[in-house]
Amino acid sequence: MLLCLAYCAVSYVKLNVADLLPSITDSPCDFSHYYLVAQRVLAAQSPYTDPEHNYPPAVAFLLTPLALTDYMTARWLWFWSSQVLLLLGAFLTWRALGRDWVSACSVACVWAMAGAAAESFVLGQLGPLLVLLLVLAYWRAGATQGAAVAAGLSLKLLPGILAIVLLLRRDWRAVAVLITVTIILVLVPAAVIVHWKSGPASPVRSGYLMGSPALTNWSLPAIALRVADPPVSPGRVPRNWEFGNFTERLDLPRGQRWLSAGIGAGVLLAGLAALVTVCRGRLNGAQVPWASAALISLTVAAIPVSWSHYQILQYPGLALLLCHAVKQRRWLLGACTVVLGALLYRIPAEVLFDYHARYAGWSAASPATLYIWTSVTPIAALLLFGMLLRQLTAEAAPPRRPR
């Protein structure tokens, strides 16, 4: 066990710290937009004057303290803060899973080997903070759980799917806190932006959220969009495949937008129906982590825009499933968890990185390679959703009624 933890610790430091330090420069990245919109908030200007900013307004307000410094200082502060947040999420997950050696090794393996965290750190994304909020939402109850879901919703929308867990749990205190904190974190910043009258009060290109065939968009709707717009020559891939991660460069026909949104909505509704059927419309406390992890896995597969680094949100669910498999000595379940975990990010990322380097860009020399390795992740996420849903039934004992 000690050797396992030591190996994971070394791997984590190498992959998520040492190898990334040269990448923390003043070159443009996602954090550049965060820093820019935070500066605009300090100047009492709408963050949506940046057309690339598609986040809820709370993000710009959250990062205003970093905008008080120069860009590189802010970049380093955010990098190291993100490391702390992700490791704090690992610590809380370990405590929730039993505080034993098996729990420690399971969490360490996921955090060190899954790979998506490195991309999140390089881009300066919100992933580490969202992982911490998800951990709180999975294993806390009442006000803390409601506040965690609301905070995630106010930053990225995607964690808001966990509001369904609170409703199925019949935890009305958590629901009340969720509504209250959401009003504070979403509506108050939005009202401030409207009051400033210094620019758009909402994202300029919100239609962008209906989908993109970009090669870094790993979702089921994105697969459909790439099929609908195939390469026509062995030269470069279609423009939207290559530049679809930029709102200003994406040119998606209306029909394809509705195709993407329709597929995403259909898969999400089917998954929700499966969850409600399995739990019979009610969750007990032991089922909450399983249902939460299942919903996150379903959502990252189904939403029209699901960038590759979103797979960091799968960390708590993977650790939960792996720890359960080892403790129950269900080795086949454990092996399936490891394989799916690798297919969520690490393997497709390595294959596509090698492809990009070999052809000096996104060539259409092998469309089959691109189709396969940009499609395996959402399929693996759906399979993981099914596995988590199946484990949820094992915790199906009816909740105790209060005396």
Per-residue pLDDT of 81-108, as tens digits, reads 999 999 999 999 999 999 999 999 999 9
Is residue 12 pLDDT above 80, yes or no? yes
Is residue 148 pLDDT above 70, yes or no? yes
Look at residues 216, 17, 37 and name the one whose alpha carbon lies nearest to residue 118.
Answer: 17
- 132, 114 contact by CB (below 8 A): no
Tens of pLDDT along 213-244? 999 999 999 999 999 999 987 778 999 999 88
Query: What is the pLDDT at residue 401?
Result: 45
Segment (H or E) for 231: none
- Which tokens go with 205? 């290109």
pLDDT bin (cut points 50, 70, 90) of residue 247 is confident
Q: Where do the domains of the chain lie?
A: 8-204, 205-397
Look at residues 263, 287, 257 and name the one whose alpha carbon lies nearest to residue 275.
Answer: 287
- Which tokens go with 322? 């792996």
Query: What is the pLDDT at residue 204?
Result: 74
- Which tokens go with 49? 């004057």
pLDDT bin (cut points 50, 70, 90) of residue 396 is low
Is residue 379 pLDDT above 70, yes or no? yes
Distance separating alpha carbons of residues 339 and 109, to the nearest angstrom:
13
Between 396 and 84, residue with greater pLDDT? 84
Average pLDDT, the chain: 92
Burial of residue 213 (CB within 10 Å: 0-12, 13-18, 19+) is: buried
Query: What is the pLDDT at residue 403?
Result: 39
